[in-house]
Amino acid sequence: MANEEEEIKYFVRISNTDLDGTKSVRVALTGIPGVGRHASDIIARRANVGGRETMGKLDDDSIERLRESVGGYATAVPTWMLNRTKDVYTGESRHIFGTDLAITHDEDINLLRKIRCYRGIRHETGQKVRGQRTKSTGRTGATVGVRRKKD
C-alpha cells in the first residue's frame, strides 16, 4: 500500500494543462478549460479508462489514450455537444480546449465591438449584456449619495 502512494504522479499534463493527479479521472479532466463533467465522462469512456480511477495512478499508456481521446472529442460527439458550433470565420463546428478557448472568447467580443452591435457597445461601456435589469444593480464607478448641508 505504501508503495502505491510513492508512485502517484501529482501532475498529469494533458492538452497543455496540468491536471491534479490526486483526483479521479472524471474530476481531473474538468480542469481542462472547455471540458465539463459530461465531456470528461465521454473522454474517459472513449479512452477505456475508469472514471473513478485516480489520475496519478494511471500508467503512461492510459494517459496517452486520454490525450488522443481529448484530441478526437469533436469527431466523437454530435455537433450540439460542441462548444463552437458554426464558427463565425470558418463556418465549421469544432470544440475548443485550453488557452484557445480564452483567446476565441476575446476575439468574439472584439468582433462585437468592431461591428458596433448592441452587445458590443454594452461590453465596451462595462454594462450588463444579457438583458438584466440595471435600475438598482450593476452600478459601477463613484458612489453617489445624499449629502447634508453644512451648518
> Would you say 49 and 56 are in contact if contact means Cβ atoms under 8 Å apart?
no
Q: What is the mean pLDDT of residues 20-49?
A: 94
Q: Tell me the C-alpha distance between 8 and 52, whole Å.
A: 15
* Residue 7 binned pLDDT confidence (cut-offs 50, 70, 90): confident
> Would you say 25 and 39 are in contact if contact means Cβ atoms under 8 Å apart?
no
Give the chain's domains with CATH numbers: 2-78 (1.10.8.50), 80-125 (no CATH)
Render pLDDT for 44-64 as a digit per residue (tens, 0 to 9).
999 999 989 999 899 999 999
* Residue 6 binned pLDDT confidence (cut-offs 50, 70, 90): low
Q: What is the mean pLDDT of residues 11-22?
A: 90
Render pLDDT for 75-99 as a digit per residue (tens, 0 to 9).
999 999 999 988 888 889 999 998 8
What is the DSSP-derived secondary structure letter of residue 149?
Answer: P
**pLDDT at residue 89, as a whole number:** 84
DSSP 106-122: HHHHHHHHHTT-HHHHH
Cα dihedral: 62, 64, 67, 68 (round 10) = -100
**pLDDT at residue 3, as a whole number:** 55
**pLDDT at residue 32, as a whole number:** 93
Alpha helices in the chain (DSSP H): 2-6, 25-28, 37-46, 60-71, 73-76, 99-114, 118-125
% of the chain surpassing 90 pLDDT: 68
